[in-house]
Structure 1
Amino acid sequence: MIRDTSAQDQVSTQPPRPIWRRWLWPAVTTLVAVAGIGYVASSWLGASRSFDSDRLRLAEVGRGDLVRDIAADGRVIAANSPVLYAISAGTVTLKVVAGDVVKQGQELAVIDSPELRSKLAQEQATLAGLEAEAGRAALDATLARATASKVTDQAAIDRQAAARDLERYQRGFDGGAVPQVNLAKAQDDLKKAEITLQHARSDATLQSRGADLDARNKRLLAERQKAVVNEVQRQVDALTLRAPFDGQVGQVQATQHTQVIANAPVLGVVDLSKFEVEIKVPESFARDLAIGMPAQLTSGTGQPFPGEIAAVSPEVVNGEVVARLRFSDQQPPGLRQSQRMSARVLLDTRKNVLKVERGPFIEQSGGRYAYVVTGSTATRRPIQTGVSSLGEVEIVSGLQPGEKIVVSGADLFGDHERVSIN
């Protein structure tokens, strides 16, 4: 007898499974795969080009306070460091060397100028002559006034005598002892004396005026020459170069016992009590700088010192503007020229604004658009930017908090509206 599998068979009490249920999960898996492939394909087809994310820098848009400040490394310079010049050509004799500490009024150098000293002697001699002439003119004026006074007094006496003669002749004529002719002559003599007195007084006034004018002209000439002498004397005194304040001798530009030309630099003096910090600011921030703006200066030890803007250069050199900061309270001890210090100038603070990290996209598009990243796609979107600081820029419109944009590397996209990011 041949054995079979009838002994192993069992009767099933469950109904048979439908055919469609066997194909349900494979169909669902296939649909998900097709949807994913379609999404990826649509993204690839919608983007004109693809770029590596390692070459890009992204930043997230958010809200917060935007502090507009300028941070720069500055160089310590002396606020007062004049250079002394030779006022005339001559031989220079140095009394100090570079680095010497000097006091105000101390002799630093002497220039021997025979030409200038000879000019001073000539001008002084001319002044002496003019002063003598002025004195002589004043004496002549006194003599002229005395002579005029003498003539006036004589005319007054003659007039008085003529008046007495007329009175005597009048009494004689009234008594019949004097003829009328003599009376008339006495009257004429009185009138003549009065006219002479009047002219004498007028001449005395004119002569006094003329003498005073001559004396005044001589005196003015002498005063003019005195001013010339004072100026030459000042130049001679300036041949001795003196320290304008307490400080230290800087660079010495002249050689001992050598000939220097007029207006040649001799040496510099540095005021060690007043220092300033010179910084260079990008041209884009130049219009925001103003004298008196608060600043913070940090020395090498990390200690901050308050300061303020003292001066801003009116010109732009190599895309930068030079500004000078002064210490508003006290300056760090032991400062030296050309020492490095960190400076921070606070321009403005905007409260609760929409902002994003600053990047090259601001300069590339002028702040008119940005590439917004969604998944693996970057889409160009028009935006409007506001004020900016060194690290952040204000977003006025076009973006929402939480969105990510390409802040660096967008120059690779060209003019494409949409690109893919790997």
Structure 2
Amino acid sequence: MIKDTSGQDEVLQTGKSKKKLGLVITGVVIIAALSAQVVFGGPNASSSVAKDRVQIAAVTFGEFTRDIAATGFVVAANAPQIYSPEQGYVSLQVKAGDSVTQGEVLATVKSPTLTNRLQQEEAELQRLSGELEGKKLDVRRQNLALNRSLDLARVELSAADREDRRAQLSIQKNLISQIDLEEAQDDLARAKLNFNHAEQEVALGKDTLAFELKSVENQLERQRLIVEELKRQVASLDVIAPVSGIVGNLLVDQNALVNANQGLMKLVDLSAYEAELQVPESYAAELGLGMAVELRIGNQNISGVLSAISPEVNNREVTTRVRFSDENIDGIRQNQRLSARILLEHKENTLMVKRGAFMSEGGHIAYKLSGDIAERIEITTGTSSISEVEVLNGLQQGDQIIISSYDAFERAPSILLR
């Protein structure tokens, strides 16, 4: 049986059907274009990135504090080292870790040489003291002799004056000759001369004796000072604690032979603390004494000021000391770790943005958000702190930028955040 021709039939479209098909195809193209615009951010977006993979921050306006971060530890502000006053054998009275009070004996240095010298000088002091007493007796004896010679000269003068007056009366009555009168006058002149010389010799003798006595007294005083100094040195053989605190490291062994000015031990005064910070070498030139520092010790926030800066660099770091401004700080310990912010500069009315990895580009490029599109723009940044960056040009207050790393953007002019 022969089949019909239905399998060979072909439906021919009319002009109206072709027009409808064209409209359908056009609509599909338009929808695809719109979808592409949504997916790829329109003709201005070069690539896209998930919004939750980037960090976004807004540009703010206000007070900008430039600071640097540092780490360190708590140290005792007063940690004196104890030294041996003389050469000798040391007898330690304390052990490492013992608590001591100010004035307590820490060690005793036995110095036979110094003790023997003190005894010798004390004997010399006694000798000079006896010599002074003997000199005083000799001065009294010589003063007595000088006064005796002066008194004799005064008596002779008085006798010569009396003979002269007798001769004057006798010559008036013609009882003696003129020669006898003149002889009496010569005796009076001689007696006056002797008396004047006796007065001068007595005065000179007394001055000489006073000088000699003063010289012996000075020798005695000098020897007394020597003995007092040696007594002080012997007394210092008992090494006492200059402050109250805890004995740190012992630097010598018991009964060891030590030299003068050799270290014996270290004391730690626990009543006063400071912070020792390690600051990167790059910031060394910007540090200055008196700068404010904010410290974080455990759960405490403590303020302080920069009190010392080391002149040398070790391991690319500069060591600084911070004196606490707060008093009566509790709960801190020697060598306790801490973190700090050193406040270098403070500015008013400053445009700034949160610091992020975008600064690795040098601070000249930023991706500014406009809706879901982030456009690459050029900016100018200034100084930076631990958490903020100063914005000088290219952004305004309220603008939002991506502050995370731009490595995945490959310098694209625009990014779609999806």
- Shared fold (TM-score, shorter chain, > 0.5): yes
Question: Do the aligned residues in 2 keep the contact of 1:134 with 1:218 (CA within 8 Å)?
Answer: yes
2:388 counterpart letter in structure 1: E
Which residues in structure 2 correspond to 1:84-99 (within 5 Å)?
A: 84-99=82-97
**In 2: Cα distance, 1:149 partner to 1:362 partner:** 105
**In 1: Cα distance, 2:388 partner to 2:341 partner:** 16
| Aligned partner of 1:312 among 302, 305, 308 | 308
1:315 counterpart letter in structure 2: P
Question: Do the aligned residues in 2 keep the contact of 1:84 with 1:265 (CA within 8 Å)?
Answer: yes
Q: 1:392 to 1:205 in 2, by over 3 A?
A: farther
What is residue 139 of structure 2 aligned with on the other side? 141
How far off is 1:420 after superposition?
5.9
2:334 counterpart letter in structure 1: Q
- The answer to whether the aligner puts 1:205 opposite 2:203 as a matched pair is yes
| Aligned partner of 1:277 among 259, 275, 283 | 275
**In 2: Cα distance, 1:404 partner to 1:203 partner:** 111
**In 1: Cα distance, 2:223 partner to 2:110 partner:** 24
Q: Give structure 2 stretches of 5+ with no counterpart.
A: 1-13, 16-25, 47-53
- 2:109 is paired with a residue of what secondary structure? strand
| Aligned partner of 2:109 among 105, 111, 115 | 111
User: Aligned residues: percent identity?
Assistant: 33
What is residue 415 of structure 1 aligned with on the other side? none
| Aligned partner of 1:101 among 99, 102, 112 | 99
| Aligned partner of 2:347 among 346, 350, 353 | 350
Question: Do the aligned residues in 1 keep the contact of 2:379 with 2:393 (CA within 8 Å)?
Answer: no
1:102 counterpart letter in structure 2: V
Q: 1:358 to 1:157 in 2, by over 3 A?
A: farther
Q: 1:142 to 1:279 in 2, by over 3 A?
A: farther
Q: TM-score, normalised by structure 2?
A: 0.72
Q: TM-score, normalised by structure 1?
A: 0.71
Q: 1:257 to 1:321 in 2, by over 3 A?
A: closer
How far off is 1:359 after superposition?
7.3
- 1:160 is paired with a residue of what secondary structure? helix
What is residue 188 of structure 1 aligned with on the other side? 186
How far off is 1:405 after superposition?
8.5
Q: 1:373 to 1:229 in 2, by over 3 A?
A: same
- 1:352 is paired with a residue of what secondary structure? strand
2:307 counterpart letter in structure 1: A
What root-mean-square deviation, in Å, do the aligned CA atoms of Structure 1 and Structure 2 show? 4.7
Q: 1:329 to 1:376 in 2, by over 3 A?
A: closer
**In 2: Cα distance, 1:258 partner to 1:64 partner:** 66
Question: Do the aligned residues in 2 keep the contact of 1:109 with 1:240 (CA within 8 Å)?
Answer: yes
- The answer to whether the aligner puts 1:177 opposite 2:171 as a matched pair is no
How far off is 1:390 after superposition?
3.5
- 1:120 is paired with a residue of what secondary structure? helix
Superimposed CA distance per residue, residues 358-414 of structure 1 (whole angstroms, 9 cap, x where no aligned partner): 67999997xxx834556887676677x46x543335456676546788989899xxx
Superimposed CA distance per residue, residues 77-115 of structure 1 (whole angstroms, 9 cap, x where no aligned partner): 222221212222322222221112223322222222222
Question: Do the aligned residues in 2 keep the contact of 1:98 with 1:249 (CA within 8 Å)?
Answer: yes
Question: Do the aligned residues in 2 keep the contact of 1:370 with 1:406 (CA within 8 Å)?
Answer: no
How far off is 1:343 after superposition?
4.0
What is residue 215 of structure 2 aligned with on the other side? 217
- 2:107 is paired with a residue of what secondary structure? strand
How far off is 1:330 after superposition?
0.8
Superimposed CA distance per residue, residues 120-157 of structure 1 (whole angstroms, 9 cap, x where no aligned partner): 22222233333333443444333333332332232222
What is residue 161 of structure 1 aligned with on the other side? 159
Superimposed CA distance per residue, residues 26-70 of structure 1 (whole angstroms, 9 cap, x where no aligned partner): 9xx99xx9xx9xx879x9xxxxxxxxxxxx999765421112445
Question: Do the aligned residues in 1 keep the contact of 2:287 with 2:344 (CA within 8 Å)?
Answer: yes
- The answer to whether the aligner puts 1:227 opposite 2:221 as a matched pair is no
Q: 1:145 to 1:57 in 2, by over 3 A?
A: farther
Question: Do the aligned residues in 1 keep the contact of 2:274 with 2:324 (CA within 8 Å)?
Answer: yes
